[in-house]
Amino acid sequence: MIELQSVNKWYSPTFQVLKNCSLTVGKGEVVVVCGPSGSGKSTLIKCINALEAVSDGRILVAGAEVTTPKADLPALRARVGMVFQSFELFSHMTILENLCIGQEKVLGRSREAAIAKANQLLERVGIAGQAGKYPGQLSGGQQQRVAIARALAMDPVAMLFDEPTSALDPEMINEVLDVMVSLAQEGMTMVVVTHEMGFARKVADRIVFMDGGEIVESATSETFFAAPQTDRARAFLSKILPH
């Protein structure tokens, strides 16, 4: 479904942020990417929907190459939904409009079909009844669920999450994680950058550990948590897991 082949990226001639990263994410697989701050996790997933360009290497999504000048980026970004730490909703549009605009402009859906889909998804993420409000009138947890619903409205083949709960107050984290858990259980292909190791244990098929721009480990969550293979992963886990 998603394939990274020897991806390298330099932000400047002296700073290589991604070093020979290769990764295959199968259909329906949930991969959690973790690692220390600055290790390149956000950059890696942004490359998957071409929000960042790779310097060399290839990325394929559902058989189509992302890393070619010929890539159809609007179509790619509809197929691969992305949810950011900072929600990135359109603040001047109602929740309903946030969910409809991409469906109408990119997918060419009729107004009626877009509204029906939006309402169905708002119901699914537990915020039916808020459709007429503006993002600023909702809590952070509600805004993030809107962002997930907006991505799902495009019928994506995969979803990318970049620290989706990092900006939320603790009591709102679970309401967002619950939506992500149900998506995972329904078979959505997902790549999730997160420090929520409880989520990782519960739904990740695989954990990818990054450090210094490299994919240092890629293992099932059982193996990764019980028997990390490298000192770097052990040091990371000892900092973030309760003792």
Ligand X SMILES: Nc1ncnc2c1ncn2[C@@H]1O[C@H](COP(=O)(O)OP(=O)(O)OP(=O)(O)O)[C@@H](O)[C@H]1O
17 interacts with ligand X by CB under 6 A: yes
User: Of the ranges 32-40, 56-64, 92-100, 180-188, which one interacts with ligand X (CB under 6 A)?
Assistant: 32-40
CB 50, min distance to ligand X, A: 14
Task: With CB under 6 A as the rule, give the number of residues binding ligand X.
Answer: 10
Among 26, 38, 74, 198, binds ligand X (CB under 6 A): 38
CB nearer ligand X, residue 41 or residue 117: 41
Among 4, 31, 32, 40, binds ligand X (CB under 6 A): 40
39 interacts with ligand X by CB under 6 A: yes
For residue 191, give the nearest of 11, 38, 47 by alpha carbon: 47
221 interacts with ligand X by CB under 6 A: no
Interface ranges with ligand X (CB under 6 A): 11, 17, 35, 37-43
